[in-house]
Amino acid sequence: MSPNDESRSELTLEYYINSGRQYYQQQNWEAAINNYLKALELQPNFFWTYYGLGYSYFQDGQWENAIANYLKAIELKPDLIDCYQNLGYAYIKLGQWHQALNYYNQLLTFEGAILYPPHNYLREMLIQWQSINFSEISHNSDRKIIKIFQADPGLYSMLNCLSSGYQKQVFSRIQEQGIEVTEDQMEADIIISQYLVILESFARQYKQQKKYLLYTEEPRFDLNFESKVNLEGVEINIMNIYTGDVFINNYHLCIWRGNLFGQPLQFFTDEDFGRPKHRKIAALMSKHPIAGFATLVRGGKSIDLYNLRNQIALEGHQLGKIDIYGKGWETGITVENSRDGDWTNRKFQILEDYHFNLCFENTIAPYYCTEKIWDAIIAGCLPIYYGGKDATIYQDFSANSFLDYSDFSCPGELFQYIENMTFLEYKQRLNLCIETFNRVGVLLRNHDFYIPQRADNLAEKIRSIVF
């Protein structure tokens, strides 16, 4: 090969690797795989190509191919620790428990390495299974009492068994209805987790001898739109934000701000419009790895807001219209990494300087309304939120209160609207938001609805599954 041929080969190799990376960032796994395979033809011993192939096969659910390429990647470069975590997961998907535990354990031998959820829970499950004789499954002789085994702590939800907060009241209420928590999975009637892969693993072990329920309040922990999935003849029941039986109104997460809803907010006056950032927008949000926030489509329509809010934030940053606070952004983009320390207090400190707050959720779903819009109002900022036609948020908020991004065709149109907004319109909009906040505050103070109704819904679901 001549020097010119070598140069062309290197350029072509770089082209295919970069193309593969671009395609997997777009979640076009087939195109990513094809480009990485072409790169391998030119250079068969480059670890990064095998890593990219392994990742693309992994995301596409081709577990055997993912394993083969990850193994080759760590053969060439043993300290690629992401490979070990995904190897563990892929082996679990194939039901190969010993190999899965082996690679999870290997990852933990690297200094500073940790397993992130759900992998840490999967490893604990595999360790427990080493000491269980699955041929000796005990059965609940007292059918009046339902015993549940929580396979993971249920973080970020009312089924958080590690929390000392309101979740204790949830467990107490379902116990009053004959549902008890057990730490012995063998005696459990029903196994609960917020991750499908964990329940799939249990279902392969216990099959129809147990019942299974996926419960999560996080929109990207589970993407099933149906209330049941079938795994080799075993039903796994689903309760998530898409099945319509987890959230029942727009203020389910106000419990985290219960002390702030205790007193009504004062309405906005002329004297209040003097914050130093004036018409600039605060965007407090982290940028997550794209693999964890895949584009989400339901009924032919995108319900993903994560990529959209990133696009708005970046364009606003480039135009000097938005200040971004949060983790994961490229160098020079953010004002500060605002997620460290006492995040709640720091969030309100930041918003004190602004009149506008970009506070999208990451997903469109009925009643999926977190603390974001409420925190903006508490801080005296006009929320820039995503509602849309027939959005459940309008069951509580009136039209022309918050700025609904679905009314704008592009970020530039939003920025121009804010630039032209009169003080009178701003005051009217924000005061409508404050009016909603105060009305909800009265409801929260006068009705102990949150825990009883949602706990009762969960108890009813558990009973319907077991009986």
Confirm whether 146-246 and 252-446 share one CATH topology.
yes
Residue 90 CB coordination number (10 Å)? 25
What mean pLDDT comes out for the span 341-353? 88
**Highest-scoring range by mean pLDDT, 119-123, 157-161, 454-458:** 119-123
Q: Which of 35-44, 148-157, 318-327, 331-340 is predicted with the least confidence, judged by mean pLDDT?
A: 331-340
Helix (H) or strand (E) holding 309: helix 306-318
Q: pLDDT at residue 240 above 60?
A: yes
Residues 6+ apart with CB under 8 A from 399: none
For the entire predicted model, the pTM comes to 0.85
Mean pLDDT over each residue of the chain, to the nearest integer: 89
User: What CATH fold (topology level) applies to the domain 252-446?
Assistant: Rossmann fold (3.40.50)
Top CATH class, 146-246? alpha beta
pLDDT digits (tens, 9 = 90+) for 134-175: 777 666 656 679 999 999 988 777 887 777 677 888 888 899
How far from 58 is each of 48, 50, 208, CA to CA, in Å? Answer: 15, 12, 28
Domain 3-128 is classified in which CATH homologous superfamily? Tetratricopeptide repeat domain (1.25.40.10)
pLDDT (0 to 100) of residue 7 = 46
Helix (H) or strand (E) holding 83: helix 81-93
Domain ranges within the chain, ordered by starting residue: 3-128, 146-246, 252-446
> By the 8 A CB rule, do 47 and 16 touch?
no
Alpha carbon distance 414, 435 (integer Å): 24
What mean pLDDT comes out for the span 256-261? 70
pLDDT digits (tens, 9 = 90+) for 380-412: 999 999 987 789 999 999 999 999 999 999 999
